Amino acid sequence: MRAPPLVQLALCTCLFAEVAATAFFAVRELRGGESDQTQAQAPVESPGADGGPTTSIPDRGAELDAIIAADKAKPRFHGEILGLFIPSSWDALPPEYKWNCSSYETLPYEQGGQFSLAATIPPPFVGAQKADFPAGAVACDGRLTGANWAYRIDKPCPGELIISRNDGRYFAADVAADRVKTIEVGGRQAVYVESVFGGGFDSSCSVLGARVFIAIPEPFGVTRIEGYNLPTADLMEVGRIVGEATKQ
């Protein structure tokens, strides 16, 4: 099986930390390139007005670093679940899942064939166009291989949503094994890679660790929903809509 670079980007946006062109899509593992061993700063005592100690609260950035470092220390997921293979990185993907493409093109959605999606994604999501992620149907060497949709959300934090339907049966995510689960969305079984943050995003609107996936196995491959900085409730609603729209 072979795939165009665009499809690899669409299928494996989870690899943006390694391959994406935009800073927003590259979900940084640690702030400012700091070491994986970064830990939360302990409260610092300093003299108060009455001579007694006062405690200063560590900044939120240090807390986020500690959360990410603790997650990275856990065993990583690598294997198959619901028929989809999830390697810990693109380099760890077995050769039989990798495919190449000498030429690709983006086509109108009307030419999406089996990859079309008859679903309306409601507010707060709005359609988005991205130079590094052209939305539409995708063909590799003249063969239709998938279709991609991009959306954005502005509140409570700026966030993004990508929906991809394609003929691959894998996606890569460097994720702790305990964050990979199976759920049901819209009456369909799906793989859920939850955010390192409870609720799907951090109140400081940092993109650290705020990547999340819902992947629905398909006869042709996979329907994958990928979110950045999205409230879990909004992501699950999108999952329900897509699951119901693709249920056969």
Query: Which sign, positive or negative, has the C-alpha torsion 111, 117, 119, 124?
Result: negative
Q: Is the pLDDT of residue 19 over 50?
A: no
How far apart are alpha carbons 186 and 204 in whole angstroms?
31
H or E segment and range at residue 104: strand 104-107
For 30-34, 69-73, 172-176, 237-241, which range has the lowest pLDDT when averaged over its residues? 30-34
Report DSSP letters for 140-169, one per residue. ETTEEEEEEEEEEE-SSS-EEEEEEEES--
For 1-15, 78-92, 131-145, which range has the lowest pLDDT when averaged over its residues? 1-15
> How do residues 176-215 score in pLDDT, each as one tens digit?
999 999 999 999 999 999 988 877 777 777 666 578 999 9
Q: Is the pLDDT of residue 134 over 50?
A: yes
> How do residues 85-127 score in pLDDT, each as one tens digit?
999 888 888 888 877 788 889 999 999 999 999 999 999 999 9
What single-letter amino acid sits at 10? A
When mean pLDDT is compared over 28-37, 46-55, 185-194, the highest value belongs to: 185-194
Cis peptide before 123 (omega within 30 of 0): no
When mean pLDDT is compared over 29-33, 55-59, 127-131, 232-236, the highest value belongs to: 232-236
Burial zone of 144 (CB within 10 Å; 0-12 exposed, 13-18 middle, 19+ buried): middle
Is the pLDDT higher at 8 or at 76? 76
Position 209 scores a pLDDT of 59
CA 196 to chain centre: 12
Across the range 1-13, mean pLDDT stands at 38
Burial 168-201 (b: 16+ CB within 10 A, else e): bbbbbbbbbeebbeeeebbebebbbbbbbbeebb
How far apart are alpha carbons 241 and 19 in whole angstroms?
30
Paired strand residues for 138: 106, 146
Position 1 scores a pLDDT of 41
Q: Is the pLDDT of residue 24 over 50?
A: no
Confidence of residue 53 (pLDDT cuts 50, 70, 90): low
Residue ranges covered by each domain of the chain: 5-28+74-246
Position 58 scores a pLDDT of 55
Q: Is the pLDDT of residue 168 over 70?
A: yes
Report DSSP letters for 122-141, one per residue. -TT-EE--BTTB--EEEEET
Across the range 22-35, mean pLDDT stands at 33
How far apart are alpha carbons 216 and 124 in whole angstroms?
23
Q: Is the pLDDT of residue 6 over 50?
A: no
Match 């951090």 to its residue by tokens.
Answer: 202
Is the pLDDT higher at 4 or at 30? 4
Across the range 158-175, mean pLDDT stands at 90
Across the range 42-48, mean pLDDT stands at 47
Match 């990979």 to its residue by tokens.
Answer: 180
